[in-house]
Amino acid sequence: MFNTSYSLEQLNAMGQNNMLDHLGIEFVELTSDYLVAKMPVDHRTKQPMGLLHGGASVVLAESMGSIASFLSLPDPTKQTAVGVEINANHLKSAKSGFVYGKCKPIKIGRNIQVWETQITNEAGDLICVSRLTTMVIDIK
């Protein structure tokens, strides 16, 4: 399903000098079935009460779903994928360490794709569940 010819180094290079870099998001595993990334819970990703900011969780989920969508394209030189909708359910807080997102497809269609990312803390507790819809468009 995923184009696994890309290395983790290449995926992480795509995140340099943008939001992923700013928040410390790092891709750590790529298989043919899922993508895993981690994000620190620190001054960049916490809200004023000292908890992981829900928006940071959404950035992690959208970034992962977007990269997953890119990796599922038959020819990324002719098409790309853009996000059209995202939602997130924040289920538990995190105060420190890292959170890990695991992104899997719900539907990979010709024009529309739906991705689910489950975000857990270091103990494996579910922190957030997010669903991203992407649209595949031709590059002109």
Answer positive or negative: Cα dihedral of 25, 83, 101, 69.
negative
* CA dihedral of 58, 59, 65, 70, whole degrees rounded to 10: 160
Residue type, 109: G
135, 80 in Cβ contact below 8 A?
no
Active-site residue flag, 62? yes
Active-site option among 26, 62, 116, 122: 62
Please tell me whether residue 71 adopts helix, strand or coil conformation: helix
Q: Looking at the annotation, which residues are catalytic?
A: 62
